[in-house]
A and B are shown apart, each in its own frame.
Chain A
Amino acid sequence: MRYLRLFLVQLRTSVLLTMQYRLDFFLEGMVEAIWTLTAVVPLLVVYRDRATVVGWTLPEAMLVVAWFTLLQGVLEGAINPSLSQVVEHVRKGTLDFLLLKPADAQFLVSTARFAPWKATNVLVSAGMIAWAFVRIGHAPSASAVLLALLLLATSCATLYAFWIITVSAAFVVVRVDNLTYLFSSVFDAARWPSTVFRGALRAVFTFVIPLAVLTTYPAEALLGRLDAVRALGAVMVALVALFISRLVWTRAIARYTSASS
């Protein structure tokens, strides 16, 4: 309960900070929205002369892109901004002030900053999902929607866990701000249905970096094609990733030597 209040306070400061620059807020959102084109244009080109690609029709593949857009919004709106600040804190030694506060440091650090304009990604993604289902011709069943929402939660948790692990590297090598670009670049591969990848890459994207779980599974859930075993797998991945990330974070913070303060 206390943490919920704390969360709301942190969120409010972020929104207030952004609202100082209202015009910026809207322009930023617009640019964000049209960036989705980088995922949509290749699909439109590919589907120009064929109906399916590795078993996915255009509306179905668009669902994966929609889910990718949504998660990218979550990643860049709620996860990235806070955790980039950790890197800054570690470098300047100001993490001390956070560690002294009477709340869990990982929590404080993870909720420190939000980028509310990324909410446009959610709108764009909702629009794409609506378009896809109009093209498919029927709405998803209620149970499919529920399962997709569950998978949304596990996807966010998994993404967050991977982020925490990446950021923990800051305690060891200090300069990791461009690791965030690396992370986003790898995540870029999640924009296609996972069956597009073959051979070694598919194995990597299923077992090492579970991109398939993040975007393809939820899309399949919406289509009612995801079986229970794989749904359970997604939940397991999220739990294990969260557990490992917590472990890595506590280890990393133990190494923190308060560099320059």
Chain B
Amino acid sequence: MSLRATLRATPALLRVGLVESLAYRAELLVWILATTMPLVMMALFATVAREAPIGRYGEGEVIAYFLATFLVRQLTGSWAAWEINMDVKQGTLATRLLRPIHPLWAYACEGIAALPLRLVLSAPLAIVALILTSRGHLARDPVIWGMFAVATLLAWAITFLINAALGSLALFVDSSLRWVDVYLLLFFVGSGYLVPVDVFPGWARTVLDALPFRYQIGFPVELMVNVHDRAHALALLGRQLAWTLALLGATLALFHRGLRRFGAFGG
């Protein structure tokens, strides 16, 4: 499992992932269309904000926030937890272990490779809607946009790592899908996906600042809709990076401990 072999194999892995996503493009489109939650939330918050702003969010800010949420969710999605669960249950993880590439790296590549198509299908509409409705509420500072790019990448990494950790849990408990459900709940409520993090009461915000979830969606979205100045954004970016590294260590440890228990039944 040398670094060179991994680097050499990566382009091929990405290509395979891309082709696979193309093969199921209709399905992918349905998945994207099914991401209606930000729009459902936008309807509520926009109506409410029209009567009186919620914290710093007026009607325009709400619309910008949730359109950005839709986009960031498309960019940072990961479903590795389900795939790993499936592979553990059916024993097909064994074939992945035989390959001279770290299995988690392979899962990551498959996930990344589906992004271009996801983006092609979802981004044009979201970006046009953003420009039409809320150009004035988007960040103008190119430095903030640069940070947005980094933050989105790290947000994807955090989402993937949590997914991989939950998937690795399946090595201990046979099926961790119920844990995935609990995670999804925490993620929905705590990430800014349903409710912008800064309209929560103070104590809840303190808790959410310390948890990884808001760095998965809320932080990149907030950068996009110009909530943070450079200094504050940099501080948050630091925390996001810290979470990414911590999760990387924890996930790798969990995966390798779990592998020792892997029985490859059914394979």
Contacts and interface: CB of A to CB of B under 8 A. Distances in A.
Interface stretch (A124-132, A194-202, A226-234, A250-258): A194-202
Contacts of A34: 182, 185
Contact of B178 (A31, A38, A186, A191): A31
Interface in B153-185: 178, 181-182, 185
Interface stretch (B1-9, B26-34, B69-77): B26-34
Contacts of B26: 175
Contacts of A188: 36-37, 40
Given A31-B182, A192-B40, A45 B195 contact: yes
Chain A interface helix/strand/loop/mixed: helix
A53 to B, nearest CB: 5
A45 B62 CA distance: 14
A37 interface: yes
B188 interface: yes
Nearest to B28: A178
Contact of A196 (B27, B43, B54, B195): B43
Interface string A16-27: 000000000001
A42 interface: yes
B240 to A, nearest CB: 23
Contacts, number: 82
16 contacts: A35-B185, A37-B189, A38-B194, A42-B195, A45-B199, A45-B200, A50-B51, A53-B51, A179-B30, A181-B30, A185-B33, A188-B36, A196-B43, A196-B44, A197-B47, A198-B43
A201 B181 CA distance: 30
A186 B54 contact: no
8 shortest A-B CB distances, which residue pairs? A185-B36, A185-B34, A181-B34, A178-B30, A182-B34, A189-B40, A196-B47, A31-B181
B201 interface: yes
A28 interface: yes
B48 interface: yes
Given A53-B47, A54-B47, A191 B40 contact: yes
Contacts of A178: 27, 30-31, 34
B245 interface: no
Interface residues of A, number: 32
A186 B181 contact: no
A100 interface: no
A27 B178 contact: yes
B182 to A, nearest CB: 6
Contacts of B194: 38, 41-42
Contacts of A31: 178, 181-182, 185
Given A53-B51, A182-B30, A188-B37, 8 more contacts: A34-B185, A37-B185, A38-B194, A46-B48, A178-B31, A185-B33, A186-B36, A198-B47
B133 interface: no
B30 A38 contact: no
Nearest to A197: B43
Contacts of B48: 46, 50, 53
Nearest to B41: A42
Contacts of B43: 189, 192, 196-198, 201
Interface string A50-70: 100110000000000000000
Interface in B35-61: 35-37, 39-41, 43-45, 47-48, 51-52, 54
A48 interface: yes
A181 B31 contact: yes
Interface string B3-29: 000000000000000000000001100
B189 A38 contact: yes
Contact of B201 (A35, A37, A48, A54): A48
Contacts of B54: 45-46, 49
Nearest to B52: A50
A38 B31 contact: no
Contact of A42 (B27, B31, B39, B44): B44
Nearest to B188: A38
A185 B35 CA distance: 7
Nearest to A53: B48
Contacts of B199: 45
Given A31-B182, A185-B34, A46 B44 contact: yes
Nearest to B33: A182
Contacts of B181: 31, 35
Interface in A4-36: 27-28, 31, 34-35
A53 B47 CA distance: 8
